[in-house]
Amino acid sequence: MQGKMMRAAAALCTAAMLLTGCSGAAQNGQGAEKVRLMVWSPSEDQSQDSGRWLQTCCEQFAQQHPEWDITFVYGVADEASAATAVAQDPEASADVFLYANDTLTTMTDAKALAKFGGKYADELKATNSEALLDSLTLDGYIYGVPFTTNTWYMYYDKRAFTEEDVKSLDAMLEKGVVSFPFVNSWYLPAFYFGNGCTLFGDGTQEELGADFGGENAVEVTEYLVDLAANPNFKIDQDGSGLAGLRDGSIQAIFSGSWDAAAVEEILGENMGVAALPTYLLNGEEKQMYSYAGSKAIGVNTSTDYMVPAVELAMYLGSAEAQRLHYELRNVIPCNVELNADPVISADPVVKAQNDTFDRTSKLQPFVAQMNNCWTPVENMGKAIRNGTVTKDNAAEQTKAMNDAMNSDGI
């Protein structure tokens, strides 16, 4: 025990000596400190076809910091799966990586995600909206540099629906065919949120648990049974929504910015984008709410070069890098100033995404218990599709779903 402490102290001293020694050397102009940073991003950010966003940014960063002689090691890990790898073996993982905010607790539980404090936190607060930073804040500390919001909304064919129609799902179903990812638990809760169901209170109160039971949830389940049976309602699965849009059998789908290019290619100038519609439940209009999250750049706690890593993360999330990301890959920026830019704010997809984020979305909870909520909701969607959940057993099945969401399955 004591030996360990001694060793830790010794390690710290050496680290401190190394750092001071090296910065001294840099000042004397005798060469920069050698830094090795492993950076992970989705493969699209590194591919030649989409402009090598990551490499471009990293090289610019290196130019801005002559005090460091940086060797970059690039690796591929998309935002959804990076967390698993980082949490499983932090020491073998990247120093800087891109992650989706719903995986935040996976990494904080494994003590693999570094906090941003001091001047860096101040800068983040100055350039991002509070709601956005909330999606990366745990116990008052910010755990990443946001570079885009992450949510879903609606794409529709302007020839089929007017701007008035797309405010109500029921109006749309009368005029055309709507496809919705019914068996995907990132989408299905939209209806439950609409009727007052909550997850972990405001999203951070783990002790409150999931509230997808009760009479209001049963009403939604019954509504969903009817919805699934509606001939104008198609379940979007394995890309069937986009395929339907292409062959003309479907006129509206629900998806996010990653499908913007594909939809634009299919619909061209007839592409409409809008925030979520309302739906008619027992004669009342209820607003659908999507999950809102963010994607951010995180820093590994086991990095040997904390300052360069944090600086790089800040740079990759800066307005400059976000603009490049938007130009190369249509990644919607989240920087406040950038969103005020006339060119960017005129983009209908940006408009819809920001409108959704502000108005028709709920902060996606990332408390640890949230992990238990995905499968039961997905299974509810599948069960309604398969016809095993009907109006007769809706009450009982909704309760089962809620119980499962509040249980570890053990």
Partner 1 sequence: MKRFNAKRAEGLSPYTCMNALRQGSAATRLSAVVMGLGNMANGQIAKGLLFLAGELAYLWFMLRYGLHNLVMLVTLGSVEQQEIWDEAQQVFLYTKGDQSVLLLLYGVATVLLSAVMIWGWRGALRSAYKAECLRRNGSHVNSFREDLASLLDENLYRLLMTPPMFFIGALTILPLIFMICMAFTNYSRIGNHLVLFDWVGLENFAALFDSGSVLGSTFWSVLAWTLVWAVFATFTNYIFGMILALIINRKDTRAKGFWRFCFILSSAVPMFVSLLIMRTMLQPNGAVNVLLRNLGLIAPDASLPFFTDPTWARVTVIVINIWVGVPYTLMQLTGILQNIPGDLYEAAKVDGAGPVRTFFSITLPYMLYVTTPYLIATFTGNVNNFNVIYLLSGGDPITDLSSTAGSTDLLVTWLYKLTIDKQYYNVGAVVGILTFIILSVGALFTYRRSKSYKEEGGF
Interface residue with partner 1 among 249, 388, 391, 392 (CB under 8 A) is: 388
Judge contact between 78 and 42, C-beta under 8 A.
Answer: yes
| Minimum CB–partner distance for residue 237 and partner 1 (Å) | 7
Element (H, E) at 73: strand 68-76
Task: Identify the residue among 204, 216, 232, 237 touching partner 1 (CB under 8 A).
Answer: 237
Task: Using alpha carbons, select from 95, 152, 113, 141 the residue that is nearest to residue 292.
Answer: 152
Amino acid at the residue 258: W
Residue of 109, 226, 327, 392 interacting with partner 1 (CB under 8 A): 109
Q: Which is nearer to partner 1, 99 or 357 (CB)?
A: 99
Q: How many CB atoms lie within 10 A of CB 283?
A: 5
| Cα 214 versus chain centre, distance | 29
Binding status of residue 81 toward partner 1 by CB under 8 A: no
Q: Alpha carbon of 265 to those of 75, 139, 246, 251, 346: distances in Å? A: 30, 43, 9, 14, 19
Q: What angle do the packed helices 53-64 and 306-316 form, to 10 degrees?
A: 120
Q: Interface with partner 1 includes 382 (CB under 8 A)? A: yes
Residue carrying structure tokens 């939809």? 263
CB of 106 to partner 1, least distance (A): 9
Smallest separation, CB 278 to partner 1 (Å)? 27
Q: Is 86 in the site for partner 1 (CB under 8 A)?
A: no
Q: Whole-angstrom Cα distance, residue 160 to residue 171?
A: 11
226 binds partner 1 per the rule CB under 8 A:
no
Of positions 168, 232, 371, 390, contacts partner 1 by CB under 8 A: 371
**173 near partner 1, judged by CB under 8 A:** no
Instruction: Tell me if 231 contacts partner 1 by CB under 8 A.
Output: yes
Touching partner 1, residues 1-40 (CB under 8 A): 1, 3-4, 8, 11-12
| Interaction of residue 408 with partner 1, rule CB under 8 A | yes
Alpha helix (H) residue ranges in 142-259? 169-175, 189-194, 214-229, 240-247
Could you say whether residue 383 binds partner 1 (CB under 8 A)?
A: yes
**What is the footprint of partner 1 within residues 256-275 (CB under 8 A)?**
none
Total residues contacting partner 1 (rule CB under 8 A)? 46
66 SS3 class? coil
Choose between 281 and 307: whose C-beta lies nearer to partner 1: 307
Task: Please state, as a whole number, how many other Cβ atoms lie within 10 Å of the Cβ of residue 409.
Answer: 7
From residue 112 to residue 141, the character string flagging contacts with partner 1 as x (rule: CB under 8 A) and all else as - is --xx-xxxx---------------------
Of 407, 403, 385, 382, which Cα lies nearest the Cα of 213? 403
330, with CB counted inside 10 A (0-12, 13-18, 19+), is middle
Return the number of other C-beta atoms located less than 10 Å from residue 248's C-beta: 11
DSSP states of 80-99 as a string?
A: TTHHHHHHH-GGGS-SEEEE
Piece of 70-78, 106-114, 130-138, 186-194 that binds partner 1 (CB under 8 A): 106-114
69, 138, 385, 395: residue in contact with partner 1 (rule CB under 8 A): 385
Residue 18 or 343 having the CB closest to partner 1: 18
Count the residues in the chain: 410
CB of 397 to partner 1, least distance (A): 7
What is d(CA 90, CA 98) in angstroms, rounded to the nearest whole number? 14
Minimum distance between the CB of residue 406 and partner 1, rounded to whole angstroms? 9
State yes or no: residue 301 binds partner 1 (CB under 8 A).
yes
Q: Can you give the binding site for partner 1, defined by CB under 8 A?
A: 1, 3-4, 8, 11-12, 87, 109-111, 114-115, 117-120, 231, 235, 237-238, 240, 301-302, 306-307, 310, 368, 371, 375-376, 379-380, 382-383, 385-386, 388, 397, 400-401, 403-404, 407-410
